[in-house]
């Protein structure tokens, strides 16, 4: 599976605070993917963000 964006985008992206600091480009890709997946659910991207952050916290613990 080919990545949707290059890793250099993550390294050079400014960080954005959404409960924890994440690269802004990652947040933008999550938001776009969530909207493309289900445009009728405006809260889908925030649900995806929360799921990602929860998974990252579990991984770090």
> What are the pLDDT digits (tens) for 1-30?
666 767 777 778 888 877 778 888 888 888
| Residue 32 pLDDT greater than 70, yes or no | yes
State the pLDDT at residue 14: 80
pLDDT over 80 at 42, yes or no:
no
Cβ–Cβ under 8 Å, residues 56 and 20: yes
- Cα–Cα nearest to 25, from 39, 38, 7, 43: 7
**H or E stretch including 20?**
strand 20-23
- Give the predicted TM-score (pTM) of the model: 0.57
Residue 3's pLDDT is what?
A: 66
Domain boundaries, the chain: 7-60
């Amino acid at each position: 599976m080919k990545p949707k964006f290059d890793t250099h985008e993550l390294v050079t992206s400014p960080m954005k605070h959404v409960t924890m600091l994440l690269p802004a480009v990652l947040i933008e890709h999550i938001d776009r993917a969530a909207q493309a997946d289900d445009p009728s659910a405006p809260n889908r991207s925030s649900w995806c963000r929360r799921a990602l952050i929860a998974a990252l916290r579990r991984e770090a613990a």
